Amino acid sequence: MNVLEVTGLNKSYGKKVILKDISLQCKTGEIIGVFGRNGTGKSTLLQVIFGTVKADSVQIKINSEIITPKEIIPSKQIAYLPQDTFLPKEKTVREIIPMFFPNGDDQDKIFYAPKIASLEKIKAGKLSMGQLRYFELLLIGNLNHPFMMLDEPFSMIEPLYKDIIKNLLYELKETKGIVLTDHYYNDVLQVSDRNFVIKDAQKIEVRCKDDLVKYEYLNSK
């Protein structure tokens, strides 16, 4: 079992404190959901853990060993799915797969995944939002990274692909620890094992939808 530990995470932009003394632990076999209104620091949290945003202070350990922010990406311990697509729009699905997986056996994991055969001749820029997010998640999820940070995997996608993505996440968490954030809270709650909300720069544990109302992420109506 792999364990990711984040402690003492602080991040400010000028005088505005975004994240204050945030700590979290994520283990192989679990999905952690992160909630928060726009501008509360959800994406910043994931980007700090991934190493692309510099924190004011943070300590990150993987399996009890400290890893510096500069080491995170080269170490290939943490993968990151951003909100915006990272795939070349003019390349087809079939052309993109070898870019991530040069080895033929590894490519088969993607080519034979549900729905991919029907998409392989389509350019990335022509995929629907659901098809695109699913394909991106397949690519990222089949890398060897033991941890994944997912920024809005359910946002604006068709119901069919929401179900496919949920099934994929259940499969991936057997070998990975996953931290994800999305405004589609019902979808997050269906797949997550633990959740918290970021409010006033601090992390608050939530156990159910009622807690999201209690901590003013959702309206009471």
pLDDT per residue as tens digits for the range 6-41? 999 999 999 999 999 999 999 999 999 999 999 999
Task: Please check whether residue 110 is in contact with residue 102, taking contact to mean a CB–CB distance below 8 angstroms.
Answer: no
In-domain check, residue 191 = yes
Task: Please check whether residue 18 is in contact with residue 201, taking contact to mean a CB–CB distance below 8 angstroms.
Answer: yes
In-domain check, residue 189 = yes
Instruction: Give the count of domains, the chain.
Output: 1
Report the distance separating Cα 93 and Cα 123, nearest Å.
6
In-domain check, residue 192 = yes
The residue segments making up the domain with residue 190 are: 3-214
In-domain check, residue 221 = no
In-domain check, residue 219 = no
Question: What pLDDT, in 10s, does the model give residues 93-114?
Answer: 999 999 999 988 889 999 999 9
Q: What is the pTM of this model?
A: 0.94
In-domain check, residue 20 = yes
Report the distance separating Cα 174 and Cα 85, nearest Å.
25
User: What CATH number should be reported for the domain holding residue 182?
Assistant: 3.40.50.300
